[in-house]
Structure 1
Amino acid sequence: MRKLTWFNVTSLTLGFAFLYLPMVILVIYSFNASKLVTVWAGFSTKWYAELFQNQAFLDAAWVTLRVAVVSSTFATILGTMAAYVMVRAGRFYGRTLFSGMIYAPLVMPEVITGLSLLLLFIGIGLDRGILTIVLAHTTFSMCYVSVVVSSRLVSFDQSLEEAALDLGCSPWQAFRLVTLPIIAPAVISGWLLAFTLSLDDLVIASFTSGPSATTLPMKIWSSVRLGVNPQINALSTIMIAIVTVGVITASLISKRASVRALEDEQAAART
């Protein structure tokens, strides 16, 4: 075990300060009574009250939440299916092309992805709105889910599935009753990753959204261009709190699921 040195402590402190100090300052100034975001004028929560009365921000937040939940759910289903095929199907004709198409959004610039999806939607005559944003977010976040789930499937003990099949389960029942509960932590992690990417996306949503569907990042970006409003600090603080609570909750659920899956594996091995 390596000992902590002054160099390591200093590097770690500077790294965490670079990452989290701006967010801490943002949270502090969200309670600033002054309209100037850089001048402290006392503690106040009035910007939170005004934020919840700003219908434009509320509408954009509702659109963003709906898009994130639906797209992350679709991305998790499709990404899990793709991961299962890549890990369990072995060598098949077109595997290289299939894998390349799955992983392409990982390295593709978001501008190129957004522009190509825009041209696709225009070409098929699909009006831009919530549906097109959901399709776009599902397309680029599915690959992240497949990476997370496939890494878990690689280390999965297939003898558990074989035992379930020998006991009379169908392949679907074996997957639903044995495989899925064990890889559930990876599936949940993939869903959270897709949800976060959708919640944070600005570039692709800018290409694929329409006048009736404005996401929260787009609304914040358009507001910041006209000047930083203290309500944006309050909104960002609420988003940080929601993400923090979600990450902690998901970590606890994943940890509990991992312990339960390990206990199930050990019980199955003993039997």
Structure 2
Amino acid sequence: MQVMVTGASAGFGTAIARAFIEKGHTVIGTGRRQEKLDALQAELGDNFIPLSFDITDVKGTEQALQSLPEALQTLDVLVNNAGLAIGLETADKSDMSEWQQMIDTNITGLCNITQLLLPKMVAANSGYIINIGSTAGTYPYAGGNVYGATKAFVRQFSLNLRADLIGTALRVTNVEPGLCEGTEFSNVRFRGDDERAQNVYKDVDAIRPEDIANIVLWLTEQPKHVNINAIEVMPTAQSFAPLHVQRQAS
């Protein structure tokens, strides 16, 4: 299979790329950091093809995709993994530029690359789009504001793609991880405060990037007539909290 993994330079993306390469597939790994992609190619070999561009740059994304050899421009699998969260402040204390960065990456970037690659998949009547969402798209929490909203978009966009693609052989799945360590997610969210990021996972046996990679690989190995609409994944140590109630002072 020919697989494209966005955001392959770290976390879920790196683990997903490794999982497909280990099975003998060809992976086009995208990301902004050329040096990270080059290091991954040195590790994984010639079946890993680095493609460096910023997914929020519409023209840059199109040019990067067009630079691929024709044989690599029709994909079997697109894994839309690139995304980020910045900040955990409440909405009134948030920075609009950080909100915009999350929207540009998690929504605009995902839509852009999907729209560019989808026509060839439809023409070939073959392909699988796997979007990496989040439980934050379903369960709100204080400080999640725009990040959670972008992941709710990913969930609904995935379902609407399924509706649009009825009558074709294409499949779409939204994978929704909960608390996961071993990625740069919290380091980015807390703007490089590594100690604060580490405390998120302190004394918790959280899920790991390899767990999500195994699920993504498993999805592609299911029979062609099977479409898994969504998979929600939490560590055993994570569950649902009661709704917050603000009681009046007596």
Fold in common (TM above 0.5): no
Classify the TM-score, shorter chain: under 0.3
Give the TM-score taking structure 2 as reference length: 0.27
Larger relative contact order (Cα-Cα within 8 Å, sequence gap ≥ 6) = 1
Q: Which has the larger radius of gyration?
A: 1
Structure number with the higher strand fraction is: 2
